[in-house]
Amino acid sequence: MNAIYIGVDFHARQQTVCYLKTEDGELVVSELKHDNKDEVRAFYAQFTGRVIVGLEASGYSPWFEQMLTALGHEVWLGNATEIRRRARWRQKNDRRDAELILDLMLHDEFPRIHRPTPESSEILRMLRYRQKLVKMRTIGKNSLLALALQSGLSLRAKLFTKAGIQELCKATMSPVMAQQRDNG
């Protein structure tokens, strides 16, 4: 059985879909709005057998990729710059972009990029979040250190002990600096 290739021009709120009917080879172009995810799921659930969905890599598509994987469809992510470079026309529109993606897939010219496993993606997400928390903590500590120095306290690392915090709380500061200290 032949695979069904579906080219998708994916945006945050909607997508344009292009595929060939297996019965007569007719090109079908549809537009799906993302405000009703059940309709999007039902559209892709109608395809059976080996289904390959190609789209440009973007930051808005993880939910869509997960839905397709749950339906048992294969997802190909393409390099957006390479896809655009291979276009034969200069004007862009959603229909042409979806047709181009389908054409590249059918002619085995789709510029696929590596897609990490869902487990790897989750680990990377956790690491990025941890890095963000460490950065926020560092900013907070540096702000308190700056307030201490501006108040005439040169405690360095001792500032973050119980005694150092008590001394910082007793220090004379302007109302704005005191508010920053209390919120930090």
Looking at the structure, tell me whether residues 62 and 88 fall in a common domain.
Answer: yes
Q: Among 115, 150, 173, which residue terminates a domain?
A: 115
Task: Give every CB contact of residue 165 below 8 A, 6+ residues apart in sequence.
Answer: 159
Looking at the structure, tell me whether residues 9 and 99 fall in a common domain.
Answer: yes
Looking at the structure, tell me whether residues 14 and 94 fall in a common domain.
Answer: yes
pLDDT of 142: 93
Write the CATH number for 29. 3.30.420.40
Q: Which of helix, strand or coil describes residue 37?
A: helix
pLDDT by residue for the chain (184 residues), tens digit each?
588 999 999 999 999 999 998 778 889 999 999 999 999 999 999 999 999 999 999 888 999 999 999 999 999 999 999 999 988 877 889 999 999 999 999 999 999 999 888 899 899 999 999 999 999 999 999 999 999 999 999 988 899 999 999 999 999 999 999 999 998 7
Looking at the structure, tell me whether residues 21 and 83 fall in a common domain.
Answer: yes
Q: Among 95, 115, 135, which residue terminates a domain?
A: 115
- Whole domain around residue 133: which residue ranges? 119-183
pLDDT of 1: 55
Looking at the structure, tell me whether residues 14 and 101 fall in a common domain.
Answer: yes
Residue in the structure block whose two tokens are 């080996």? 50
Looking at the structure, tell me whether residues 42 and 105 fall in a common domain.
Answer: yes
Q: Among 115, 131, 149, which residue terminates a domain?
A: 115
Looking at the structure, tell me whether residues 80 and 169 fall in a common domain.
Answer: no
d(CA 55, CA 42): 19
How many domains, in total, are found in the chain?
A: 2
- The pTM of this model reads 0.75
